[in-house]
Structure 1
Amino acid sequence: MRIFHSFRFKLSTLYLLTIIVPTIVIMIVMPYSYKKILVRNSMNETSNTIIALRRNMEAYLDDLENLTIIPYLNADIMNALKVKAELGQSADMYTLLSTNRTLTNSLENYMRITRDDIEGTILIAKDGTVYLGSKGWNAYDSASNYPYREQAWYRKTLEGNGKAAFISSHPRDYISNAPPGSVFSVARIIKDPDTEENLAFIMADADTRVLQKIVSDIRLNFKSSIAVLDDLDQVIYSTSYFSPDMLNQIAARHATIRSADDRYLVVDQKLEKANWRIVVLISQTAINDQFTNVHLWGVLYGLGGVIFTIVIFLSLSRWIIAPLNEMIEREYRAQLDLRNAELNLRNAEFRSLQAQLQPHFLYNVLNGFIGLNRLGQKQSLENAIVALSKMLRYILLNSDRSTIKEEFEFLNMYCDLQRMRFQQKGFEYRVQCDSRIESFYLPKLLLQPLIENSIIHGIEPINRSCLISISANRLGDLENASIEIVVEDDGAGFEPSVVDPRHRVGLVNVQERLRLAYPHSGFLLASEPGVGTKIVIRIPIQEEAS
């Protein structure tokens, strides 16, 4: 359709490909890219925040751990523990009172200089005596007959063999009048530096509310949940509820976890000292909410921009295209007139060449009639005249073109007519045409001058019977199909390079007519004296449609 070749259509296509399509792609892709950047930046920021949180918690755990090495820093405490380990309850009254006073007072004194949020310490001598140290004037009493050695945190400390053991959240049920709530602790076994003998068990307790104070200073961009997990991935402290299923997913180290009502991105940091983990869950719902807002605004701005550019485009294109259309229309008409003039000139040249051919043909045929008359062959002459009338009817038809089938039928009549002149030595001819190309059009009488040259210059000069072969075949596949026409004789032949151009009028006439009818056709001539002459014409089939 003509509309697809118009300047407006091409300009609209350019506008669509350079403005509209990129804008739509940006509207779709940019929000998702923004979301990806948003998630990555949030993860990085959260990770950096957790690193700071981890350092604060490690500093706090260091303070708790320092409380557990107090006995090693005080010779009186170590001596008292050695006495308790060696004599136990069998020591005399003075020794018992002295060691008990030393251990009780020392723990109380050290507690006064520790952090306010450290709840206290508990020291269990080898003989089972329990000593408590508390902050301020609060006096705690140990629970009577409490099974310390059966507790998991006690056994874990024994397995540490003198190293600090970090105890997860647990109740202070070993203190009879302790306030409600849970604590986390650092414990160790006190050993005799000389004999490596176990002297006592010491544990420093801190209220889990201290973790709330540390975490409360953290500010994250999105709705998040923070938890401190122990080495068994159990919650020590969390800002919100962590279900067992969520804890199992965290323990399996999933990058994202699901809860009943949301999905979370997981960012964590390990507390190397305690083998605990700080875990932050970032709500994907909160991220999607912010992403949805950005996406909505992006679409609105994009649509607004597209509508604005469409209005501008329509206004400017109408202003630009109107004079261009007029100019293009004038140019089109001028080119059309020029093409018609060229076609008319081409047809005039074609008819001129054809007009040159017809007298030449008649002259040669009439010469043949004279020869038949001199020989007295009246019947042959009469037959020749009838054949000539049929040929003249074909020649004088008001048409510049004929099909290959019609042209070959004419060549049959022409060869029969010419063979009458060579009754003594005679000549044979063979005409063959591929049925697939019989309807292909050629300039009328295109091939007759070639046959005439074969007879006059190839057969007449020699005293033997000759053969003229005329064939037309289709070559190539559908896309590159062509027609090959071959005119070949085994007559006298000639040397193409030494022929006088004045004797090549017929060949030049054929070549010019072929060029005018089919500009991309080919014309090949090969001849050898004493062997014969061969002419090959090739015409692309698609040229007939054009």
Structure 2
Amino acid sequence: MLKTYWFNASLQKKLVMTYLCLVIVPIIIFSCVVYRAYSNSIQSSVNEYANETLRQITLNMDTHLNTLAQLTLTPYFLEPYSREDALSIWGKVAQNLREQSDLDKWTSDFAFNSIMKGHPEVVGVYFFGARGQIYGHLNFGYVPEGYDIKQAPWYDYVNNASGKPVFLNVGMPSFVVDGYEPMFATARQMYDAQRRLLGTFVIFTNMSRLNDIAENAQLKHFDKLYIFDLQNRLIVGKTGNPEENRIIAELSQKGKEAAGQVVTLNKQTYRVTYGYSEFSQLHSLYLVPSITLFKQQRFVFYLILGFVIFSTMISFLIFVWIARRITSPLKQLQLLMIDVEKGNFDVVYSVRTEDEIGRLGASFNNMISQMRRLVYEVYEAELRKKQADFTSLQHQIRPHFLYNVLETINMMAEIKGVHEIGDMISSVGELLRLSLHRNDYGTVGDEIRYVQSYLSIQQIFHKNSLQVSIKVPDEVLELRCNKFILQPIVENAILHGLDCELGKQTIRIDGALEEGRFRLYVTDDGRGISESRMRVILEHLSVEHPESIGLRNVLDRIHLYHGGRYGLRICSMEGEGTTVQITLPVLPA
């Protein structure tokens, strides 16, 4: 169906459809590719920005946590006032309340002077000894005596670290009495020189410093940042509802697999970036809202779309204008051809250009001019043909009574014994009988019989001094030809070429068949034709003579019926004789 529509469509439609396929479609595809590439570039840029932001936050976190980790090593160093390190002091077990009070006071002084001074985020310091001793200080609340640190849910992480610092969100631990603020713990197990466990040292800090680090990262308004400790407990970030809590928890559990995922929180989609610190073992999720991507993508999309629509409309209008400029002359030619089909040859195409269409229009004008000339020539030829037929008929003896009279005379001549007169009258009667047929065509055989009758009369007239030789192949005798084309030539040969008083003269008629045509030759051995006479004859043949019934009549009828390719040719030499050649097309009878 599409193929049929294409073949039946106008040239202008084909040009427009070709334009759509070759120009508009590639523009649209190219625009889509550009938009896709730009979107990927924007997405890559946003991902790179998110990764860089997350790396910077992680670096700042690690810097702060490294400071806390360094503080957890303080008990290993000598205390400047007592010349003892804190571990040696904390390694003692109080025997009474006074010793316990002295050790608590020493620990408080140690915490203020060595750790909390210059670090306002530190809210407490505690040492949980391997033999059950507990020494420490908190700005709010306290840890009761007899508490076993091994009962803390995060103790296993500290124990598995084997002396390395562990960073934990302990929230508001149940072992702190009168505590009212969530805390972040930096814990480390302490060993003596023989790698014997002395206890666990914990520095408690508030969450403000960690939150400040996240806020100083200057996150965009709609971005979300979540930082988790190795327990997958949230350190930084807020969740608004249970569904959000569930999604964030699932992403935290997935770890690296969460990177690149798209999630929906509060009807807003986010793209997830994942980060992890080998030092602190904290992992983070940075959620960038899709609107951050879509804003830039939407702007570029509308820009490209506007460009495509504008350029398409402008180029389409220009192309339609060009297509009309090309097809309008062709439509004009088509209308003129329709007029010609209806028989109106008085049309002219106005040629305004010299391109292919202009040359086509000029050729059309030439063709119409040639057609007008040919129509006129055909008309004139028909008139000449009718005139020639009329002239031929005028000079034919048609009356039947004359034929009957000649038959009567012939019978009387036979009765009286005058046989020569009977033969002549019989030949004349045959001539009259053959001439009574009004068909335009006969066969070569008919023409030969007609000429034989005529030559019989001439032989009697010339007392047998005229010799006749007819050699025409049988295949030529069966071909069609115009009537009465041989007799005028034979008559001219006898009247103007032969002189029978000088002796025997010969008329020879030959025929030959060639490819697509045949030739008849009428040859005499008479006096021939001089050059001056030949010029007169040829001039006579080149000028129309409507009344002529001789050579000119024969030539005109051959041209009228068969065209200029066929006709007569005269070859003669003075004193040697004359040959007239007749060339006709092969037309089966």
Report TM bin, short chain: 0.5 to 0.7
Paired with 1:177 and 1:42, the residues of 2 have a C-alpha distance of: 46
Which residue of the partner structure matches residue 278 of structure 2?
Answer: 272
Paired with 1:14 and 1:63, the residues of 2 have a C-alpha distance of: 72
Q: Structure 1 residues 114 and 172, CA, compared in 2 at 3 Å: closer, same or farther? A: farther
Q: What is the Cα deviation at residue 251 of structure 1? A: 2.9
Equivalent residue of 2:110, what SS?
helix
Q: Structure 1 residues 106 and 163, CA, compared in 2 at 3 Å: closer, same or farther? A: same
Equivalent residue of 1:55, what SS?
helix
Q: In the alignment, which of 254, 258, 270 is matched to residue 263 of structure 2?
A: 258
1:89 pairs with 2:88 = no
The letter for the 2-side match of 1:189 is Q
The letter for the 1-side match of 2:263 is R
Q: In the alignment, which of 288, 299, 315 is matched to residue 305 of structure 2?
A: 299
Q: What is the Cα deviation at residue 222 of structure 1? A: 7.5
Paired with 2:158 and 2:67, the residues of 1 have a C-alpha distance of: 18
Q: Structure 1 residues 139 and 286, CA, compared in 2 at 3 Å: closer, same or farther? A: closer
> What fraction of aligned residue pairs are identical, expressed as a percent?
15
Q: What is the Cα deviation at residue 45 of structure 1? A: 1.1
Q: Structure 1 residues 388 and 268, CA, compared in 2 at 3 Å: closer, same or farther? A: same
How big is each residue's C-alpha offset from its partner over 1:26-73, in whole Å with a ceiling of 9 and x where there is no partner?
Answer: 544433332221111000011111111111000111111112111012
**Cα contact 1:191–1:197 (8 A) shared by 2:** yes
Q: Size of the alignment, in residue pairs?
A: 361
Which residue of the partner structure matches residue 474 of structure 1?
Answer: none
Paired with 1:316 and 1:388, the residues of 2 have a C-alpha distance of: 64
Q: Structure 1 residues 79 and 116, CA, compared in 2 at 3 Å: closer, same or farther? A: closer
Which residue of the partner structure matches residue 130 of structure 1?
Answer: 134
1:157 pairs with 2:158 = yes
Paired with 1:170 and 1:249, the residues of 2 have a C-alpha distance of: 21
Which residue of the partner structure matches residue 204 of structure 1?
Answer: 203
Counting only pairs closer than 5 Å after superposition, residues 241-256 of structure 1 correspond to structure 2 as: 241=240, 242-252=244-254, 253-254=257-258, 255-256=260-261
Q: Structure 1 residues 150 and 220, CA, compared in 2 at 3 Å: closer, same or farther? A: closer
1:284 pairs with 2:290 = yes
Paired with 2:444 and 2:43, the residues of 1 have a C-alpha distance of: 95
Q: Structure 2-normalised TM-score?
A: 0.51
Which residue of the partner structure matches residue 426 of structure 1?
Answer: none
CA RMSD of aligned residues (A): 4.7
Equivalent residue of 2:250, what SS?
helix
Paired with 1:33 and 1:152, the residues of 2 have a C-alpha distance of: 50
1:71 pairs with 2:99 = no
Which residue of the partner structure matches residue 38 of structure 2?
Answer: 34
How big is each residue's C-alpha offset from its partner over 1:328-370, in whole Å with a ceiling of 9 and x where there is no partner?
Answer: 55411333467799999xxxxxxxxxxxxxxxx989xx9xxxx
Equivalent residue of 2:154, what SS?
helix
**Cα contact 1:81–1:125 (8 A) shared by 2:** no
Paired with 1:341 and 1:317, the residues of 2 have a C-alpha distance of: 29
Paired with 1:215 and 1:336, the residues of 2 have a C-alpha distance of: 86
Q: What is the Cα deviation at residue 96 of structure 1? A: 5.7
Q: What is the Cα deviation at residue 273 of structure 1? A: 0.8
Equivalent residue of 1:104, what SS?
helix
Equivalent residue of 2:94, what SS?
helix
The letter for the 2-side match of 1:119 is V
Q: What is the Cα deviation at residue 200 of structure 1? A: 2.3
Q: Structure 1 residues 25 and 291, CA, compared in 2 at 3 Å: closer, same or farther? A: same
How big is each residue's C-alpha offset from its partner over 1:278-328, in whole Å with a ceiling of 9 and x where there is no partner?
Answer: 210122244335433442343234323433444555667778998998435
Which residue of the partner structure matches residue 121 of structure 1?
Answer: 125
**Cα contact 1:192–1:199 (8 A) shared by 2:** yes
Equivalent residue of 2:48, what SS?
helix
Q: Structure 1 residues 105 and 47, CA, compared in 2 at 3 Å: closer, same or farther? A: same
Q: Which moved more, 1:273-282 or 1:210-219?
A: 210-219
**Cα contact 1:82–1:192 (8 A) shared by 2:** no
Which residue of the partner structure matches residue 189 of structure 1?
Answer: 189
Which residue of the partner structure matches residue 107 of structure 2?
Answer: 103
Paired with 2:300 and 2:317, the residues of 1 have a C-alpha distance of: 26
Paired with 1:256 and 1:13, the residues of 2 have a C-alpha distance of: 44
Q: Structure 1 residues 175 and 312, CA, compared in 2 at 3 Å: closer, same or farther? A: same
Q: Structure 1 residues 105 and 315, CA, compared in 2 at 3 Å: closer, same or farther? A: same
Paired with 1:337 and 1:258, the residues of 2 have a C-alpha distance of: 76
Equivalent residue of 2:119, what SS?
coil
Q: Structure 1 residues 310 and 167, CA, compared in 2 at 3 Å: closer, same or farther? A: same
**Cα contact 1:124–1:200 (8 A) shared by 2:** yes
**Cα contact 2:116–2:122 (8 A) shared by 1:** no
Q: Structure 1 residues 247 and 175, CA, compared in 2 at 3 Å: closer, same or farther? A: closer
Equivalent residue of 1:108, what SS?
helix
Equivalent residue of 2:177, what SS?
coil
Q: What is the Cα deviation at residue 169 of structure 1? A: 4.2
**Cα contact 1:84–1:126 (8 A) shared by 2:** no
Which residue of the partner structure matches residue 376 of structure 1?
Answer: none
Paired with 2:263 and 2:202, the residues of 1 have a C-alpha distance of: 37
Which residue of the partner structure matches residue 435 of structure 1?
Answer: none
Q: Structure 1 residues 319 and 332, CA, compared in 2 at 3 Å: closer, same or farther? A: closer
| Largest Rg, 1 or 2 | 2
Q: What is the Cα deviation at residue 228 of structure 1? A: 0.4
1:335 pairs with 2:363 = yes
Equivalent residue of 1:31, what SS?
helix
How big is each residue's C-alpha offset from its partner over 1:374-420, in whole Å with a ceiling of 9 and x where there is no partner?
Answer: xxxxxxxxxx97x9787649xxxxxxxxxxxxxxxxxxxxxxxxxxx
How big is each residue's C-alpha offset from its partner over 1:147-172, in whole Å with a ceiling of 9 and x where there is no partner?
Answer: 42201222322222222122234324
1:167 pairs with 2:168 = yes
Equivalent residue of 1:43, what SS?
helix
Equivalent residue of 1:64, what SS?
helix
Q: What is the Cα deviation at residue 104 of structure 1? A: 3.0
The letter for the 2-side match of 1:109 is N
Which residue of the partner structure matches residue 50 of structure 1?
Answer: 54
**Cα contact 1:246–1:259 (8 A) shared by 2:** no
Q: Structure 1 residues 157 and 333, CA, compared in 2 at 3 Å: closer, same or farther? A: closer
**Cα contact 1:169–1:236 (8 A) shared by 2:** no
**Cα contact 2:239–2:245 (8 A) shared by 1:** no
Q: Structure 1 residues 226 and 83, CA, compared in 2 at 3 Å: closer, same or farther? A: closer
Paired with 2:251 and 2:239, the residues of 1 have a C-alpha distance of: 16
The unaligned stretches of length 5 or more in structure 1 are: 345-360, 367-383, 394-446, 453-546
Paired with 2:358 and 2:215, the residues of 1 have a C-alpha distance of: 80
The unaligned stretches of length 5 or more in structure 2 are: 1-6, 330-349, 373-442, 449-472, 482-512, 519-589
Equivalent residue of 1:88, what SS?
coil
Q: Structure 1 residues 201 and 60, CA, compared in 2 at 3 Å: closer, same or farther? A: same
**Cα contact 2:77–2:85 (8 A) shared by 1:** no
